[in-house]
Amino acid sequence: EEQKRLLKHQPDQPKNPKVLRIAIIGAPNAGKSTLSNQLLGRKVFPVSKKVHTTRCKAWGVITHEDTQLIILDTPGLTDHLKAKRHNLEKAMLTDPWDSMKHADLVLVLVDVSDHWTRNALRKEVLNCLSQFPHIPSVLVLNKVDILKKKFLLLGIVHDLTEGIVNGKKLEVKSAFKNDSSSSSKSPHQSIQNSPLESKAPKSPCQQEMDQAQEGSGLDNSSDVRGAKSSPVTEKTQGPKRYGPKELKDMKGWPHFQEIFMLAALHGEEVDTLKQYLLMQAKPGPWEFHSDVLTSQSPQEVCDNIIREKVLEYLPLEVPYGVTQVTEIWEEGECGELLIVQNLLVPRKSHMRMLIGRGGKVISKIAQEAGQDLMNAFLCDVHLKLRVEVKG
């Protein structure tokens, strides 16, 4: 009831309000919800190692002094074939596009730990950016802590930007250096850009970039670090909308204004990105009351967190067929929350997997989901899960 009241309530506007609507897009499982949760400072979006954990768009709200950031957490951009395979709602194909229509800034998140996909943006992402070329975009490289060979970041940056950042061409130099411990030669790349004007202390990700260069004998004038840059030069020209034939030959997007490197799971460099977003806010009325953290209802938060755990503990495609039905949602005399939810599965074999031997799996899901719900709602939560076969 409190959440409903806050969402309907008129925002408590400060004297000179500023606002920024941010769409986070990227491939499924790139870490969009993890980054959103870290920016918000509390877990309100589901997170899982499996793809398509986020099933619909949800808004997160950060209110800092006179500035409000509205984060549009969206499902991973996918195609019709994969949507059908994972039994996904039609909204998962349209929600990322709808979010772009409302955005003032778009963050494109790329998982650099995935060596199969890290050197090229997905065609769905490129198509999305091309449809909205007027919206400023920022490249965010996630999971850089997992990448052991840091010098690879330089090549990844070049590929994902088509060699252009903030309207300036990046110069890539390739060199081959003999390794005394191996007869093979390993390539080393450096990317050169104009000097940074910022005198701020180097962040851990900036230091990683320096280490990548030093370890590879690279030029320290490389400045693809994503902390600060000179004013955008594209405003005079304006990014163009690319046709299908042009997009087919593109690996990256040549109109990113900034590049950030972070580890969302551990919160590394997330605050640097947050400060940048606060600085990008423009004068405008707030859309939410300052006490609002998310546009989701408590029931939606609950469903998402339980589904996250089901995805984690069930194999392959099995969890995508689970239907959730809340039977009881009651608040106790001392403010505790009692939740009873039925998990409906299509087959008895799925039921046995979800319950587990001696009820261990379903107990673990209930325990972990209950703890996450307590952290989200800041109250005691008693969660009971029942498993049944559909029909």
Question: What is residue 19's predicted lDDT score, i.e. its pLDDT?
Answer: 96
CATH class assigned to 1-173+243-283: alpha beta
Question: Is 3.40.50.300 the CATH number for 298-389?
Answer: no
Read off the pLDDT of each residue in 52-57 and give the average, rounded to a whole number. 55
How many CA atoms does the CB half-sphere of 345 hold within 13 Å?
A: 19
Q: Which amino acid is at 188?
A: H
**Domain range summary for the chain, segments of one domain joined by +:** 1-173+243-283, 298-389
Whole-number mean pLDDT of the chain? 79
Q: What angle do CA 225, 231, 233 make, to 5 degrees?
A: 105
Model confidence, pTM: 0.77
Question: What is residue 190's predicted lDDT score, i.e. its pLDDT?
Answer: 39
Cα 136 from Cα 235, distance rounded (Å): 10
Span between the terminal Cα atoms of the chain, in Å: 33
Question: What is residue 53's predicted lDDT score, i.e. its pLDDT?
Answer: 52
Residue pair 361/323 in contact by the 8 Å Cβ criterion: no
Residue 52 confidence class, pLDDT cut points 50, 70, 90? low
177-230 residue pLDDT tens: 444 343 333 333 334 443 333 334 455 555 655 555 454 433 433 344 443 333
Question: What is residue 87's predicted lDDT score, i.e. its pLDDT?
Answer: 47
Where is pLDDT greater, at 248 or 371? 371
Where is pLDDT greater, at 211 or 8? 8
Cα 1 from Cα 8, distance rounded (Å): 11
Cα 213 from Cα 207, distance rounded (Å): 10
The least confident of 64-68, 213-217, 260-264, 329-333 is: 213-217
Length of the chain: 391
Q: Is 42 helix (H, G, I), strand (E, B) or coil?
A: coil
Question: What is residue 261's predicted lDDT score, i.e. its pLDDT?
Answer: 94
How many CA atoms does the CB half-sphere of 56 hold within 13 Å?
A: 11
Residues sharing a CB contact under 8 Å with residue 386, sequence separation 6 or more, in sequence order: 327, 340, 341, 342, 343
363-383 residue pLDDT tens: 999 999 999 999 988 899 999
Residues sharing a CB contact under 8 Å with residue 287, sequence separation 6 or more, in sequence order: 11, 19, 68, 70
C-alpha closest to that of 362 among 321, 316, 289, 312 = 312
Read off the pLDDT of each residue in 126-155 and give the average, rounded to a whole number. 91
Burial class of residue 257 (count of CB atoms within 10 Å of its CB; 0-12, 13-18, 19+): middle
Residue pair 57/99 in contact by the 8 Å Cβ criterion: yes
Neighbours of 323 (CB within 10 A): 11
153-180 residue pLDDT tens: 999 999 999 999 998 987 655 433 444 3
324-363 residue pLDDT tens: 999 999 998 888 999 999 999 999 999 999 999 999 999 9
Question: What is residue 236's predicted lDDT score, i.e. its pLDDT?
Answer: 40
Two domains, one topology: 1-173+243-283 and 298-389: no
22-46 residue pLDDT tens: 999 888 788 888 999 999 998 888 8
Residues sharing a CB contact under 8 Å with residue 114, sequence separation 6 or more, in sequence order: none
